[in-house]
């Protein structure tokens, strides 16, 4: 194949250790081991896709068999061994894809083949890519040969799933964890490729490619190849053009959306999102970038120390810094939790776009309620009002005015804002379970809970053998979902109060007995001697 017709990922594939970018420690270690002839029986390369695992394996194979030795490893004018290894047709260097050959019979054939010495090279080498795909039986068949191979035999494994490889296999290998390539190195590498290809690519566009590739050299080269092909007529690949090609949007537009969101500008937020969506951005990509901005807002003080991640320009950094100063950690963690839930939600909703719009509106309402709660707390402290008094609060520059009404010590605002419910006693918790249709929990709270103490974040109850064994676990989980706070529910040695149902029964018995002793009941018996009192209901005093 003509060298110029190759894709960039193959055209600029490293041929010697010095060409490997971002893996200097592993390269130097293996180079020194080969030079000093202290070779491992097997090498294991692990890491994400596209960082050079298979390339590393081939360079090691070349270093072991090159006619010129590891010090003068072929880089351009290849010897017959290096040429054959590059083309994957060397008779003594067998490359196997474990994804297609996973069975024990394949490994047995390989072991049988290993019994014969190399035909032309110094070492017989087996390169197994995606080795984690081998079956358990295949790994077991490989163990003995792997531990004590003939001196002429070497194994080189590559995998993206190190945890799927049996520890007995890993322990017999010299393991190298290849790291993601740092942004600065990858940027300079791509810049050099652009110069060699006589392309025109703006530095901002290269930074976007670095960001999307997430440290994968192959991904970065594939993206660059795509961009250069799209603008091979002499035009420059600018940031805006690159965003259109790769389906990414300008981060500054997302930051502007954040500013509007925290000011409660619903129309502006929805319009900004729709422009992003119309540009071809997938809703799930949008939500993942949304999470990224939340991370920056929370950790803006440490981000400026990194300097080389190409995540934010100066203007974006200043905007995020201003947003960060207006928000609490509690706000940000709550938004993070809701965004994670929204990502799960878009997987099951047919119209992902509408789901994201409702997610944004929900966040604005949550922010509004949070501020209202804070204002009401401040007002109650200053005025020293009774805890049971009803209150109304207004917030400026938010979406809507919201009225809070107290209902039996339970402030129910809406289903979206259930995280801000104020639970003050057992009665309010029972009403919340009823509101959320948690009938089983409501039954246990009313019938089998003997309360010792109740405070925000902590409930202490006496032991009751009738209580469902999963009650504490289920109630803790639900309270965390409803209030975004961890609740401690503990069993006490104290006796505790009688259950709510028993309390109601006792009241009924007292009322029944008092009624039978009443003057009215005695008068009824005077007129109707055979009358019998069956039930008593207390009159509602409010309707008197």
Q: Has residue 196 been placed in a domain?
A: yes
Q: Has residue 137 been placed in a domain?
A: yes
Of the pLDDT bands very low, low, confident and very high (cuts 50, 70, 90), residue 167 is very high
Q: What is the pLDDT of residue 417?
A: 41
Q: Has residue 385 been placed in a domain?
A: no
pTM: 0.57
CA–CA gap between residue 207 and residue 198 (Å, rounded): 18
Structure tokens at 131: 């080795």
What is the pLDDT of the chain when averaged over all its residues? 80
First-to-last alpha carbon distance for the chain, in angstroms, is 98
Residues 144 and 23 in one domain: yes
Q: What is the pLDDT of residue 411?
A: 42
Residues 487 and 352 in one domain: no
Residues 255 and 219 in one domain: no
The edge-to-edge listing of strands for the beta sheet with 174-177 is 93-97, 124-129, 153-159, 42-46, 174-177
Residue at a domain's end among 213, 246, 279: 246
The edge-to-edge listing of strands for the beta sheet with 450-455 is 450-455, 458-462, 488-492
Q: Has residue 9 been placed in a domain?
A: yes
Q: What is the pLDDT of residue 479?
A: 86
Q: What is the pLDDT of residue 422?
A: 63
Residues 431 and 338 in one domain: no
Of the pLDDT bands very low, low, confident and very high (cuts 50, 70, 90), residue 395 is very low
Residue at a domain's end among 304, 338, 367: 367
Lowest-pLDDT choice from 56-60, 304-308, 340-344, 537-541? 304-308
Contact between 345 and 355 under an 8 Å Cβ cutoff? The reply is yes
Question: 135-152: buried (b, 16+ CB within 10 Å) or exposed (e) per residue?
Answer: eeebbebbeebbeebeee
What are the Cα distances from residue 330, in Å, to 100, 296, 367? 49, 15, 11
Residue at a domain's end among 327, 347, 367: 367
Between residues 166 and 527, the one the model is more confident about: 166
Percent of the chain's residues with pLDDT above 90: 16
- Phi and psi at residue 386, to the nearest 5°: -65, 140
Residues 142 and 240 in one domain: no
Q: Has residue 377 been placed in a domain?
A: no
What are the Cα distances from residue 401, in Å, to 233, 260, 371, 415, 420? 57, 18, 12, 17, 17
In the numeric block, the tokens 């405070």 are attached to 455
The model's pLDDT over 196-211, given as tens digits with 9 standing for 90+, comes to 988 889 888 898 888 8
Residues 318 and 423 in one domain: no
- Distance from the Cα of residue 99 to its chain's centroid: 27
CA–CA gap between residue 296 and residue 254 (Å, rounded): 12
Q: What is the pLDDT of residue 256?
A: 86
The model's pLDDT over 97-126, given as tens digits with 9 standing for 90+, comes to 887 877 888 888 888 888 889 888 899 999
Pair type for strands 458-462 and 450-455? antiparallel
The three-class DSSP label of residue 279 is coil
In the numeric block, the tokens 């997938």 are attached to 282
Q: What is the pLDDT of residue 442?
A: 85
Q: Has residue 394 been placed in a domain?
A: no
- Phi and psi at residue 92, to the nearest 5°: -105, 0
Average pLDDT over residues 486-503: 83
Q: What is the largest CA-CA distance in the chain?
A: 124
Look up residue 173 and give its DSSP letter. S
The total number of structural domains in the chain stands at 5
Percent of the chain's residues with pLDDT above 70: 83
What are the Cα distances from residue 491, in Å, to 61, 150, 438? 64, 64, 22
CATH number at 438 reads 3.30.300
How many helices (H) and strands (E) are present in the chain, helices listed first? 23, 8
Q: Has residue 458 been placed in a domain?
A: yes
CATH number at 202 reads 1.10.8.60
Closest alpha carbon to 324 in 301, 351, 344: 301
Contact between 207 and 248 under an 8 Å Cβ cutoff? The reply is no
Q: Has residue 408 been placed in a domain?
A: no
Between residues 48 and 505, the one the model is more confident about: 48
Q: Is the pLDDT of residue 434 over 60?
A: yes
- Residue 116 half-sphere exposure, CB side, CA atoms within 13 Å? 11
Name, in order, each residue with C-beta under 8 angstroms of 247's C-beta and a sequence gap of 6 or more: 280, 281, 282, 285
Structure tokens at 220: 């970065």
CATH number at 137 reads 3.40.50.300
Residues 95 and 15 in one domain: yes
Of the pLDDT bands very low, low, confident and very high (cuts 50, 70, 90), residue 314 is low
Average pLDDT over residues 315-327: 79
Q: What is the pLDDT of residue 60?
A: 93
Residues 172 and 187 in one domain: no
CB atoms within 10 A of CB 459: 23
Q: Is the pLDDT of residue 144 over 70?
A: yes
Residues 211 and 148 in one domain: no
Q: What is the pLDDT of residue 374?
A: 47
Between residues 34 and 249, the one the model is more confident about: 34
Q: Out of 90-104, 174-188, 519-533, give the one with best mean pLDDT.
A: 174-188
Residues 241 and 255 in one domain: no
Residues 355 and 237 in one domain: no
- Which structural domain range is residue 188 located in? 183-246
- Distance from the Cα of residue 149 to its chain's centroid: 42
Residues 162 and 208 in one domain: no
Q: Is the pLDDT of residue 482 over 70?
A: yes
Contacts 24+ apart (CB under 8 A), 298-307: 298/324, 298/329, 298/332, 300/324
């Amino acid at each position: 194949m003509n060298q110029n017709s190759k894709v960039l990922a193959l055209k600029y594939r490293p041929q010697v250790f010095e060409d490997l970018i971002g893996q200097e420690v592993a390269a130097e270690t293996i180079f020194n081991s080969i030079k000093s002839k202290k070779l491992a029986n097997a090498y294991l390369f692990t890491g994400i896709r596209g960082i050079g695992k298979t390339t590393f394996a081939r360079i090691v194979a070349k270093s072991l068999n090159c006619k010129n030795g590891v010090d003068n490893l072929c880089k351009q004018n290849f010897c017959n061994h290096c040429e054959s290894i590059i083309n994957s047709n060397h008779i003594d260097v067998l490359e196997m894809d474990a994804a297609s050959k996973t069975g024990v019979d394949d490994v047995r054939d390989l072991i049988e083949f290993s019994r014969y010495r190399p035909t032309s090279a110094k070492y017989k080498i087996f390169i197994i890519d995606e080795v984690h795909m081998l079956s358990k039986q295949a790994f077991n068949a490989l163990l003995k040969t792997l531990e004590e191979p003939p001196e002429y035999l070497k194994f080189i494994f590559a995998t993206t799933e190190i945890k799927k490889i049996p520890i007995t296999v890993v322990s017999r290998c010299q393991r190298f964890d290849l790291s993601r390539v740092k942004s600065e190195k990858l940027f300079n590498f791509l810049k050099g490729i652009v110069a060699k290809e006589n392309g025109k690519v703006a530095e901002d566009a290269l930074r976007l490619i670095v960001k999307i590739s997430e440290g994968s050299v192959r991904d970065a080269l594939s993206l660059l190849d795509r961009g250069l092909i799209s603008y091979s007529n002499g035009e420059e690949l600018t940031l805006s053009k690159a965003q259109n090609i790769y389906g990414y949007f300008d981060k500054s537009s997302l930051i502007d959306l954040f500013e509007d969101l925290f000011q409660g500008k619903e129309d502006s937020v929805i319009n900004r999102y729709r422009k992003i969506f119309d540009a071809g951005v997938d809703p799930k990509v949008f939500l993942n970038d949304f999470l990224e901005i939340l991370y920056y807002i929370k950790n803006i003080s440490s981000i400026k120390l990194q300097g080389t991640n190409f995540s934010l320009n100066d203007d974006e950094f200043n905007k995020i810094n201003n947003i960060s100063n207006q928000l609490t950690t509690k706000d940000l963690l709550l938004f993070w939790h809701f965004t994670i839930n929204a990502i799960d939600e878009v997987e099951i909703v047919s119209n992902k776009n509408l789901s994201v719009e409702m997610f944004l509106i929900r966040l604005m309402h949550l922010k509004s309620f949070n501020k209202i709660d804070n204002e009401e707390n401040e007002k109650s402290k200053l005025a020293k009002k009774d805890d049971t008094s009803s209150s109304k609060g207004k917030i400026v520059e938010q979406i809507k005015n919201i009225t809070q009404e107290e209902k039996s010590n339970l402030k129910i605002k809406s289903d979206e804002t259930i995280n801000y419910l104020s639970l003050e006693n057992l009665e309010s918790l029972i009403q919340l379970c009823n509101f959320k249709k948690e009938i089983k929990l409501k039954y246990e709270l009313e019938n089998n809970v003997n309360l010792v103490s109740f405070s925000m974040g902590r409930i202490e109850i006496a032991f009751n053998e009738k209580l469902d064994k999963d009650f504490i676990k289920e109630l803790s989980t639900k309270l965390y979902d409803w209030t975004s706070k961890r609740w401690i529910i503990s069993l006490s040695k104290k006796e505790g109060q009688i259950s709510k149902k028993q309390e109601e029964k006792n009241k009924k018995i007292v009322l029944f007995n008092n009624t039978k002793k009443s003057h009215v009941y005695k008068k009824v018996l005077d007129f109707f001697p055979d009358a019998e009192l069956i039930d008593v209901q207390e009159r509602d005093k409010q309707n008197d």
